[in-house]
Structures are given as C-alpha cells and as structure tokens.
Structure 1
Amino acid sequence: MSSIENNNEDWREIRSRVDSIANAVFLVAGGALSLSISVILDKKTEPFITPNVARLASEAWYFMLASVILFLLVKAHLVFQAFMLQVKTDFVSRRLAWFNSVGWILGAIGFGCFAWGFIQMVRAAAIAVGVRL
C-alpha cells in the first residue's frame, strides 16, 4: 500500500471518529436544549425557577448552542478539506498543518463549550431541586 493510500485510510478513520463525536454532541446538546428550554418556559413562574437557576440554564443554552455551531463548522471544514484535497492536492499538502490546526481548534473549543454547557445545566437542575453547590 502506498503512502498516499495509507494517508487516505488514516484520514477516513479520523473523519469517521470526528463524525461520531460530532453526532453525539448534536444528539445530547440538542436534546438537552429542547428539553430544558421547554421545562423552563413551562415552569418559569414556579418558585424553584429562581433567577440563579434561570441564569445558569440560559448560560448553558448559549454554550450548548455554541458547541453545535462549532461542530457544524468542524464538519464543514472537513468537507471543504476533502474537496480541496481532490481538486488541489498540492495546495492542501503544503497547508496540511494549518488545515489540521483549524479543525483541532474548532473541535476543542466546541467540546469545551459542550462540556461547560452541560455542567451549567446540571448546576441549574441541582439548585432547582434544592442542592446548593
């Protein structure tokens, strides 16, 4: 197997793993967003939805939204990179480190936003049920 074929197989494997992570983030963040927004809007006059709970939930929503947007950008970046690899192979080869860095940066920030949003969502829920953190 040639070096190009090995690199192509490695790239496909990485792409598959990125897709799996991104799809998991889409599923969990999307579900958490829709469920928590529905609950907060439905119960906003209830006493357990304090200003602190609402603030934490709102912050969580923005971070989860950012994670979804960033992972969409990662997927778009990978599609663009694959397209450019087909039409301008030497262009991508000369800038491979840059292309990879952009993907890693977007993915790392996206995952960080997802994790922080999820933590804030759990904090809001814990405070709503009476647990002080």
Structure 2
Amino acid sequence: MNRYLPLIGRILIGLPFVMSGLGKLAAFGPTTAMISAVGLPLPPLAYVVAVALELGGGLLLIAGYQVRPVALALAVFCVATGVAFHSNFVDQNQMIHFLKNVMMAGGLLQIAAFGAGAISLDNRLSGGRVAVVTAAAAH
C-alpha cells in the first residue's frame, strides 16, 4: 500500500492545480481583473505565471517529474496567493481559503522533502533508486 500512497497524494494535490490552471486559460479577462483588483503589478504577466505554475506544475506533480522543485515552487505560490487574495480574515470564507492554501503548502512541502515515491517519472528516470531506498527503509 505504501507504494501507492505517494502517487495518490500527488494526484490529489496536483489535480486541483490543473483544474484551476485550465479555468484560468478560459478566463483571461476576469483573472487579470482579479489580479488588478488586489493591486498586483503586471496582471497579464502574473496571469501567465499563474497558469504556468498551476497547469504545468500540477501536471508535473501528477506525473512525478521533478517533484521536489515543482512542489517547492507550488508551496511558495500557495502562500503568496493566500496572502494576496485571501487575507481578509474578517470574512470567514476568505479565512477558509487562506487556510486551504496553507494546508496545500504543507502537503507540497512534504512532497518536496520526501520526493515523488516509487510510482513516478523521477523514480523511473533514476533507475529505480527511490524504490530501493523506500524498500530498505521499510525493513
């Protein structure tokens, strides 16, 4: 079972990023307006960065490729977007969204620390060393 848990975890964390990135692709105007509304500079550039991180990072996370740097980048993105878009703690809904971002960052930091797991492109491309280390640690 432990062999499959990192894959399931990567899918559960990566899929919402993919969905959000796809949603942003279909909503350039509203997304850049929201970025402008919170006072961030260069909304079109911020839009491109957000789509690249969410869509690209989510897909890489699911595939298990370069998960440590990708998870770290997404964790920073989660905290930054939480602060920029969800810091009105008087509004309970915004507090919930902020905490959701913090929780996602925590899960992503776990992936950054422990890697992709046995069922991943990272493991396949490293010649299966992750699986051997994981199996040795289990005994």
Task: Give the structure-2-normalised TM-score.
Answer: 0.38
Looking at secondary structure, tell me which structure has more helix per residue.
1
Task: Give the structure-1-normalised TM-score.
Answer: 0.39
Higher relative contact order by CA 8 Å / sep ≥ 6: 1 or 2? 1
Q: Greater CA radius of gyration, 1 or 2?
A: 1
